[in-house]
C-alpha cells in the first residue's frame, strides 16, 4: 500500500512538514495549496527537496468551486485552473484535487456539470494533469461520492477521475459497498480520515475533529476493503483536519499518522480475509477475490492476559514504602544489581525504583503487561513505530522488551505464566514476612494522566500495539474543570487502563511546578474483601482520602442502603456504586508526589470504575493540594 | 433585579465559589448538588457561611428524573426527594429545581405526570419547600417550557411552580412571547445563559458552550423583557456550563458573570422601553405596561468616535523609534514630566513608553479611545466592574480615565475633538520636522492577543463598557495551529479591535519565554496612498515582512490583476484583497519584541482586514521566529 499524507494535517512550515513526513516513512504527500503559497520555497525548490527526501508529490489540493457555474465564471475558473496546471508542471506533479462546488454553483444540472468538467479535463490533458473530482459532504449540489463518480463516467475522459475521501463518505453514512463496482482506472486518489461520532454540522466536524484511522469510530477497514476489491492501487493518503494535531510537534504527529496507516493496512487485510468466505460464496465476483494492491501484515498478538507489575519512581521512597506497607503489601527485597525494591500483595507487584532524578516527586514510571510472546509483541510494536526503551540488564537477568507510551510511561512486555507468578521476582533478595502476603490481590486498573497533545495518539497506540479496546468516552467534573476520561481495556477486563486528560492549567512559568502536581495518577488493586482490607490498613495507620459526610447522605438518598452497611462505609471512608451488573466498593489513599493508590472490590459483574464517585475524589484531592 | 449564579459556573471548591460570588456582589447563589456532596462543609456550615457573606441560598439543584415513572419508581423518587427536602431545611433553603425526566420516564401522560408532581408538591409543602419544575431542552417527554407551565397549572398547588431557563427555551427556538401571559406567582425561578449559535446536539451544546449574557448570540434582553412583563420579581440567576469558565480563576470569572447581569439588566430595560410604544398601542395589556421588578440603569455612552492614541512600552525603544521613523511618523518630542515620547503621522498618535521593566520586550500597553465624556464613560465602566487604572499625573496635565481590559491592556477614555486633534499633545516638547508630517493617517485597527481563559470575557467587556459590536467570528490557519479571531468594532468602523486567540503553546517552563514571543500583536494605520507610503518607507530602509513569490502567483490566478499593478505589489511586499465592496492594500513591518505595525489603504467600502492574507503573515512570522 502506498502511504501518503496531506501537509494540512501537520504543524509548521512546508519544509518542516516535508522533513517530518520523510522521517516518519511516508511514500508521498499531498501539497495543501496554502502551505505552498505561504512558503518561501519556490516550486522548483519543493520539487528538488521532495526528490532528495524520497517523497512523492502525489496530489495538489484543493481546487475549489469549479463546476455548475455560469459561462462567464467558467471562463475565469478555467483560467484559474490553467495557472495551477502550470504551477504543477514546475512542481513535477500530475494530479490535482477538484472539490465539488460549495459556494458559486448556480446551476444544478448534471449535463452542464459534465460538460464543464469535460472542458477542465481537456485543458488538464494539455498540461499532462489528471483531475481527481471529489464530492464534499456539504457540496451544494454534488455531495455524494456515487454522484461524483457518475459525472466522471459521463465525461469519460482519461484525465478525469474521482477522489474517494472516507470522511466525506462515512460522515454522511453513505453505503460503501458500491465502491467495489467502480472502474479502478477512474479512481485517481483515496483519502482516509477517521472521526469520533459527533452530532454537529458536518463542516465544523470535518474542519476540527477529524483524527487518524484508529482514533475515531468510522468503519475504515471496511471502506478500504471495498476500495481494494475495486482494484485500486494508488496512494492511500491521510487528510485529517484536527485542531490539536495542527498545534503539536510535527515529527511526532507524522509518526502517529504513519502508525495509523500501518494499522489500517493490517485491519483492511483482516476485513478482506474475514469477508472472503462470503466473497467465495458469490456475493463478490471472482475477479475481485484477488486484488492487485499488496497489503503488508504485522506480527499478530492477542490481548494481554493481565498486569505483570507497576513501577513507581521516586527520589525519596520512604512515603511510598510506608503507604504500601500500610495497605498490606509485603516487602520482597531489593534487586540484586539495581536500586529497586519489590513489594507484593497476592499477584499485585509494585516495583519502587530509587533511580529517579534527585528531588523528583514519586510518579508512575512503568507498567508490565503479560503477553504470549514478548518478542512477537515487541516486534509488532516496533513495526508500529513505538519507541523502544533501553534498560541495562546484567547477564542471567530477564531481558524486558520495553516500549515507550505517548505519555512517556514505559511499557514492558512480559512473559505471562499460567499461575500468575513472574520469573523475574527471583532476582530480588529474600524479603520480610508480612501480614498481607496471603491476600488475593491483583492490579485492577491504572489511571494515567495524558498530555492534551497526545490523547488521540495514546488511543491508537494502545489499540494497535497492545490490542486494548477503547470504551465509550466520559467526562468527569473536578474543581479545576472537566476531566476527559478514556478507558482502554481487554475484553475480559484483566487489563484496564484509564487515560485521563486533565483540564489545561493556567500555567505561568512560576506555576508550572504546582500545575504538574495536580496531574495525579494512580494504581488500583482489587481484593476479595475490601472492608477487611480497609480495617487492617486503618489499624496500620494508613492515611485514607477523607470522604465528606455529605457524600454518605447523598449515597443513602440514592441507594437506600442498610444502615449498618452505610455506617461501615462512612467509618472507613469507603465509596460505593451499584449498577444492574453488581456493586463496587473502593477507597483511596492520600497522594504522594503525583501518585496515589486505590483498593477496590468488585461484586457480581460490575464493570465500571465508580464514575459517580470520581468528582468526590477530585474535589477532596484539589482541596488537599490547595491547602498544602 | 435580584442577581444570582449557580455554583456550577465556577471553578474551585464550594467555599471558594461562595467567597468569589460575595466579592463579585451577587445577591444569591444556586447550590449545585455536586458542589455540596463533594464539600467537607456541613449543611450548617454552608448556611452560616452564606449568612456571613450576605449571600442568599436561592435554589438547590438539580433534582432529576422524577416524573412520568412507574408507581414503584415514584415511591423511590419521593423517598429521595424527602431526603433532599430535609437537607434543604438544614441549609435553610426553600426552593428546589426539578428537571423534566430525561432518563427514567416510561409513561407519556400529562394526567399521570400532574398527579405525580402533585404528590411531590404536597410532600414539599410539608417541609416548607417550593418545587420549581423546568423543561429541559432534551427532556424525554417534557422539553417545552409551555408544556411544563401547563403541568404546573394542572396541579395548581402553592408549592409547585416553574423555572424558566433561557438556554432550554432559546436553544430550541421557542417563542418567548407567551411568557408574558404566565401567572407570575407560578414562576418560581429564572435562569439565564447565553450561547453561541452552534449546530450541534443540544445536550453537548448546553454542557460545554454556554456563556454569560452578552458573550453569545441569544436574544436575552427580549426574553427578560417578557419575564419582567409577566410580573416576575424573583432572582435572575446565571446557570452557565462552560468548559473554560470551569478552569479559570474563580474570582475573575465571578466578576465577569456579575458584569453580564448588570449589562443584561440595562439591555432588558432598553428592550422594554423600545417596545413600550407597541405596548401602549394595545398589544400588551395595560396591566403589564408597568411591572414590579426594578431595573437599574447605567450611565449611557455612545460608540467611541475613534482611536485617540496607541501606546507601546519597551525597555530599549531604539528599534521602535527606527520603525516608526521609517514608516513616516514624526517625533513630536518627549513628555515634560514622564519618560514617554510622542510620534505622529496625521491623526495617528503613537506613544513610546520607556518606563517598562528592564529587559522587557516591546509590547502594546495601552489604547486611547475618543469618547463624548470620559467621566461618564469611566463611571459606566466602573459600574460594570472594570478595574480602574491608576496613572500618576502632575498638576495642569490632562487626567486620563483609565480601565484595564481582560488581557491587561490599559484602555484610556479620552475627550475627542471635532478636528481629530488631542489636547494632551501640548504636554510634549517641540519635536523635529519630519517628512511624513503632512500625510493623512489614522489608526485603522489594533490586533490584540487574548489569553484563552479571557476570550469570552473580553467580548462582553468591550461590548458593555465601550459599546463595540462583535462581528462574526473567524478562524485563521497558522503554522502553529488555528487562530480564533473576533472583530469588535463601531458601526462606522472608526474603531476596530481584533481579538486574537492564539493556539495553545506546548509551553514547558523552558519554552515559556519563546512561547510568549509568538503572541504577536499589532497596530494598523490607514493612509490614502499605500504605494507611495511603501516606497518612501523602503527608501528610508524599512524592513518589510517579506511576502513569498508564490503568494503573488496565487493572487494573479485568483484576481487576474493588471501585470504592472501585480509587479508593484510584488516589488513592495504589498498584500491585496478584493470583495464586492472594494479593495484592500496592506503591508507589514518586521516584528520588534511582540509588536509589529501594518499600513493599510482601503479603497471603496472594503470593510474587512485582508483575511485571506492572514495565513501568509502568520507563516512568514513563524518562519522568522523559528529561524531567529
Query: How far is it, in rounded angstroms, from Cα B618 to Cα A246?
Result: 14
CB contact under 8 A, A551 and B616: no
DSSP, collapsed to helix, strand or coil, labels residue A234 as coil
d(CA A283, nearest CA chain B) in Å: 38
- In chain B, count H helices and then E strands: 19, 25
From chain A, pick out residues whose CB is under 8 angstroms from the CB of B546. 40
Examine the pLDDT at B516 and tell me if it is beyond 60.
Answer: no
Number of Cβ atoms within 10 Å of the Cβ of B129: 23
Q: Do residues A365 and A317 make contact, with C-beta atoms less than 8 angstroms apart? A: no
| Option in A11, A39, A453 nearest B550 (CB) | A39
DSSP, collapsed to helix, strand or coil, labels residue B389 as strand
Query: How far is it, in rounded angstroms, from Cα B512 to Cα A80?
Result: 44
d(CA B316, nearest CA chain A) in Å: 24
Examine the pLDDT at A122 and tell me if it is beyond 80.
Answer: yes
Q: Please compute Rg for chain A using Cα positions.
A: 28
Bridge partner residues of B349 (DSSP): B344
CB contact under 8 A, A76 and B560: yes
Distances (CA, A) of B35 to A329, A479, A616, B427, B453: 35, 9, 9, 56, 22
CB contact under 8 A, B548 and A248: no
In chain A, the percentage of residues whose pLDDT exceeds 70 is 93
State the best of B45, B479, B545, B552 to mutate against chain A, taking most chain A CBs within 10 Å. B479
Query: How far is it, in rounded angstroms, from Cα A286 to Cα A268?
Result: 19
More confident residue, A45 or A204: A45
Please state at what angle helix B14-24 crosses helix B43-53, rounded to 10 degrees.
20
CB contact under 8 A, A247 and B79: no
pLDDT tens across B316-350, in order? 899 999 999 999 999 999 998 889 999 999 999 99
Q: Please compute Rg for chain B using Cα positions.
A: 28
Residue of B nearest to A510 (CA): B509
Beta strands in B223-361 (DSSP E): 235-238, 306-313, 330-334, 340-345, 348-353
Confidence at residue B508, expressed as pLDDT on a 0 to 100 scale: 38
DSSP, collapsed to helix, strand or coil, labels residue B11 as coil
DSSP, collapsed to helix, strand or coil, labels residue B437 as helix
Query: How far is it, in rounded angstroms, from Cα B176 to Cα B173?
Result: 9
State the best of B38, B246, B454 to mutate against chain A, taking most chain A CBs within 10 Å. B38
Q: What is the DSSP letter of B592?
A: B
pLDDT tens across A517-564, in order? 456 899 999 999 999 999 999 999 999 999 999 999 999 999 999 999
Confidence at residue B393, expressed as pLDDT on a 0 to 100 scale: 65
Examine the pLDDT at A476 and tell me if it is beyond 50.
Answer: yes
Confidence at residue B506, expressed as pLDDT on a 0 to 100 scale: 45
Residue B575, C-alpha cell as written in the block: 498584500
From chain A, pick out residues whose CB is under 8 angstroms from the CB of B34. 477, 615
Length of chain A: 628
The greatest distance separating any two alpha carbons of chain B, rounded to the nearest whole angstrom, comes to 91
Examine the pLDDT at B26 and tell me if it is beyond 50.
Answer: yes
The answer for residues whose C-beta is within 8 angstroms of residue B332's C-beta and 6 or more apart is B341, B342, B343, B344, B425, B428, B431
Residue A1, C-alpha cell as written in the block: 500500500
CB contact under 8 A, A509 and B512: yes
Bridge partner residues of B481 (DSSP): B478
Q: Do residues A517 and A496 make contact, with C-beta atoms less than 8 angstroms apart? A: no
Residue of A nearest to B42 (CA): A550
Distant-in-sequence contacts of A280-288, Cβ < 8 A, 24+ apart: A284/A180, A284/A229, A288/A180, A288/A229, A288/A230, A288/A231
CB contact under 8 A, A198 and B199: no
Average pLDDT of the residues of chain A? 92
pLDDT tens across A125-175, in order? 999 999 999 999 999 999 999 999 999 999 999 999 999 999 999 999 999
CB contact under 8 A, A243 and B482: yes
Torsion of CA A422, A428, A433, A434, to 10 degrees: -60
Query: How far is it, in rounded angstroms, from Cα B113 to Cα B107?
Result: 8
Distances (CA, A) of A5 to A95, A184, A257: 14, 21, 8
Examine the pLDDT at B515 and tell me if it is beyond 70.
Answer: no
Which H or E element spans position B15? helix B14-24
Question: Residue A509 — pLDDT band, cuts 50, 70, 90?
Answer: very low
Vertex A178, ends A175 and A181: CA angle to 5°? 170
From chain B, pick out residues whose CB is under 8 angstroms from the CB of A249. 506
CB contact under 8 A, A556 and B199: no
Confidence at residue A625, expressed as pLDDT on a 0 to 100 scale: 83
How many beta-carbon contacts under 8 Å exist across A and B? 164
pLDDT tens across A218-261, in order? 999 999 999 999 999 999 999 999 999 998 999 999 999 999 99
Bridge partner residues of B12 (DSSP): none
Q: Which residue has the cell 460608540?
A: B303
Residue A14, C-alpha cell as written in the block: 512546508
State the best of B240, B550, B622 to mutate against chain A, taking most chain A CBs within 10 Å. B550
d(CA A189, nearest CA chain B) in Å: 24
Examine the pLDDT at A510 and tell me if it is beyond 60.
Answer: no
B546 is in an annotated binding site: no
Question: What is the DSSP code string of A128-191?
Answer: T-EEEEE--TT-SS--SHHHHHHHHHHH--TTEEEEEEHHHHHTTT---GGGGGS-GGGEEEEE
B147 is in an annotated binding site: no
CB contact under 8 A, B39 and A550: yes
Examine the pLDDT at A502 and tell me if it is beyond 80.
Answer: no
Query: How far is it, in rounded angstroms, from Cα B13 to Cα B28?
Result: 17
From chain A, pick out residues whose CB is under 8 angstroms from the CB of B618. 38
Delineate the domains of chain A, giving CATH numbers in brackets: 2-288 (3.20.20.150), 306-627 (3.10.180.10)
The greatest distance separating any two alpha carbons of chain A, rounded to the nearest whole angstrom, comes to 91
State the best of A550, A555, A570 to mutate against chain B, taking most chain B CBs within 10 Å. A550
Distances (CA, A) of A13 to A37, A207, B17, B545, B548: 11, 19, 44, 16, 13
Amino acid at each position: 500500500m502506498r502511504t501518503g499524507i496531506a501537509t494540512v494535517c501537520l504543524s509548521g512550515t512546508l519544509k518542516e512538514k516535508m522533513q517530518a513526513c520523510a522521517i516518519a516513512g511516508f511514500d508521498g504527500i499531498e501539497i495543501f495549496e496554502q502551505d505552498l503559497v505561504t512558503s518561501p520555497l519556490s516550486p522548483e525548490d519543493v520539487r528538488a527537496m521532495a526528490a532528495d527526501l524520497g517523497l512523492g508529490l502525489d496530489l495538489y489540493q484543493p481546487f475549489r468551486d469549479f463546476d455548475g457555474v455560469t459561462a462567464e465564471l467558467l471562463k475565469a475558473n478555467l483560467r484559474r485552473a490553467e495557472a495551477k496546471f502550470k504551477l504543477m508542471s514546475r512542481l513535477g506533479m500530475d494530479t490535482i484535487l477538484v472539490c465539488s462546488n460549495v459556494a458559486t454553483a448556480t446551476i444544478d444540472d448534471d449535463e452542464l456539470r459534465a460538460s464543464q468538467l469535460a472542458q477542465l479535463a481537456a485543458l488538464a490533458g494539455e498540461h499532462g494533469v489528471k483531475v481527481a473530482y471529489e464530492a464534499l459532504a456539504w457540496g451544494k449540489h454534488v455531495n455524494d461520492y456515487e454522484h461524483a463518480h457518475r459525472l466522471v463516467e459521463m465525461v469519460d475522459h482519461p484525465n478525469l477521475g474521482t477522489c474517494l475521501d472516507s470522511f466525506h463518505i462515512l460522515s454522511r453514512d453513505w453505503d460503501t459497498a458500491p465502491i467495489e463496482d467502480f472502474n479502478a482506472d477512474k479512481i485517481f486518489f483515496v483519502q482516509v480520515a477517521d472521526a469520533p461520532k459527533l452530532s454537529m454540522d458536518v463542516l465544523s466536524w470535518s474542519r476540527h475533529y477529524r483524527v487518524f484511522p484508529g482514533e475515531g469510530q468510522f468503519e475504515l477497514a471496511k471502506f478500504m476493503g471495498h476500495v481494494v476489491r475495486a482494484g485500486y492501487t494508488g496512494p492511500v493518503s491521510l487528510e485529517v483536519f484536527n485542531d490539536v494535531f495542527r498545534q503539536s510537534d510535527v515529527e511526532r504527529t507524522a509518526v502517529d499518522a504513519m502508525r495509523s496507516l500501518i494499522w489500517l493496512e493490517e485491519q483492511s487485510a483482516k476485513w478482506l480475509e474475514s469477508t472472503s468466505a462470503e466473497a467465495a460464496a458469490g456475493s463478490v465476483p471472482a475477479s475481485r477475490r484477488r486484488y492487485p494492491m499488496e497489503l503488508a501484515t504485522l506480527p499478530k498478538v492477542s490481548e494481554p492476559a493481565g498486569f505483570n507489575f507497576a513501577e513507581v519512581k521516586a527520589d525519596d521512597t520512604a512515603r511510598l514504602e510506608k503507604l504500601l506497607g500500610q495497605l498490606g503489601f509485603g516487602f520482597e527485597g531489593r534487586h540484586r544489581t539495581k536500586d529497586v525494591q519489590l513489594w507484593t500483595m497476592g499477584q499485585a507487584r509494585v516495583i519502587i525504583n530509587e533511580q529517579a532524578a534527585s528531588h523528583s516527586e514519586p510518579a508512575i514510571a512503568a507498567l508490565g503487561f503479560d503477553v504470549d510472546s514478548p518478542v512477537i509483541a515487541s516486534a509488532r510494536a516496533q513495526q508500529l513505530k513505538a519507541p523502544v526503551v533501553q534498560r541495562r540488564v546484567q547477564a542471567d537477568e530477564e531481558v524486558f522488551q520495553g516500549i515507550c507510551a505517548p505519555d512517556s510511561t514505559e511499557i514492558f512486555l512480559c512473559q505471562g505464566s499460567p499461575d500468575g507468578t513472574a520469573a523475574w521476582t527471583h532476582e530480588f533478595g529474600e524479603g520480610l514476612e508480612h501480614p498481607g502476603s496471603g491476600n488475593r490481590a491483583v492490579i485492577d486498573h491504572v489511571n494515567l494522566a495524558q498530555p492534551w497533545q497526545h490523547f488521540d495518539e495514546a488511543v491508537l497506540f494502545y489499540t494497535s500495539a497492545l490490542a486494548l479496546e477503547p470504551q465509550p468516552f466520559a467526562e468527569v467534573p473536578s474543581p479545576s474543570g472537566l476531566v476527559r476520561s478514556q478507558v482502554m481495556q481487554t475484553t475480559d477486563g484483566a487489563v484496564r487502563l484509564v487515560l485521563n486528560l486533565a483540564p489545561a492549567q493556567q500555567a505561568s512559568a512560576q506555576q508550572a511546578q504546582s500545575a504538574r502536581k495536580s496531574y495525579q495518577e494512580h494504581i488500583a488493586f482489587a481484593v476479595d474483601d475490601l472492608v477487611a482490607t480497609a480495617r487492617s490498613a486503618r489499624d496500620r495507620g494508613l492515611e485514607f482520602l477523607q470522604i465528606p459526610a455529605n457524600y454518605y447522605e447523598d449515597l443513602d438518598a440514592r441507594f437506600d442502603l442498610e444502615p449498618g452497611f452505610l455506617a461501615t462505609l462512612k467509618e472507613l471512608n469507603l465509596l460505593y456504586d451499584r449498577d444492574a451488573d453488581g456493586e463496587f466498593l473502593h477507597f483511596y489513599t492520600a497522594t504522594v508526589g503525583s501518585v496515589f493508590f486505590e483498593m477496590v472490590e468488585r461484586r457480581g459483574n460490575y464493570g465500571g470504575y465508580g464514575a459517580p464517585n470520581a468528582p468526590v475524589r477530585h474535589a477532596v484531592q484539589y482541596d488537599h493540594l490547595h491547602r498544602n
